[in-house]
Amino acid sequence: MIIRVLKKYYYKRKYAEHFSSPFEVLISCILSQRTREENTEKASLQLFSKARTPEKILQLPLKEIEDLIKPAGFYRQKAKRIKEVSKILLEKYNGKVPKSREELLRLPGVGAKTSSVVLSYGHGIPIIAVDTHVNRISKRLGLVSKESNAEEVRKELQKIFPKNAWKYVNLGFVNFGREVCKPIKPLCEKCELKNICDFYKTKKS
């Protein structure tokens, strides 16, 4: 039942597939930090209209990158970070984004969620990226312990869901969390999963 709902919400809005190359996914993740999805998308599209590779990024003046990504907020820090990451990719990885989670985590500004998103959406490597939506909804449904951290949630979800369904989990829960299982005032009555949801059962009792 959960997989059916996740597939439905996954196919409703494939935001992550706007940017198909691993590098574009990585940079859009850096831009997404501490901002809204629509701001990330606008900044990413403006930047990628000028530069879509580490080489091209390094050819752009820092001020121009700042202007292009301004909609994402914190644009000065993010512009420096994008330049820094692009330089490392060229010097250490011949301009390619690593396919190893360990190597990705060594890049400045890359944490557990970003590394998982890059592997999943950039390289097509099965892994579940855990953001605030995945974390919140998994706990509300009772799939994982309320005390679990993001990495524990990822490991538990990867045990629960078959590998061929992993790709639906992140974006499916993200879209579902924005439209139904909201952080505040979730729309429980219209939720297709309410009958198996611990949060809804507690709310009713």
Catalytic residues: 113, 131
Distance CA 139, CA 186 (A): 14
**Rounded to 5 degrees, what angle do the CA atoms 2, 16, 21 make?**
135
Q: 53 with 89: CB under 8 angstroms?
A: no
End-to-end CA distance of the chain: 23
Instruction: Give the separation between CA 165 and CA 40, rounded to whole angstroms.
Output: 26
Cβ neighbours, 10 Å, residue 29: 25
Burial 109-136 (b: 16+ CB within 10 A, else e): bbebbbbbbbbbbbbeeebbbbbebbbb
Identify the three-state secondary structure at position 108: coil
Q: Tokens representing 162?
A: 């078959």
Contact assessment for residue 97 and residue 22, using Cβ atoms and an 8 Å cutoff: yes
CA 194, CA 137: separation in Å to the nearest integer? 11
Q: What is the C-alpha to C-alpha distance for residues 71 and 139, in angstroms, rounded to an integer?
A: 32
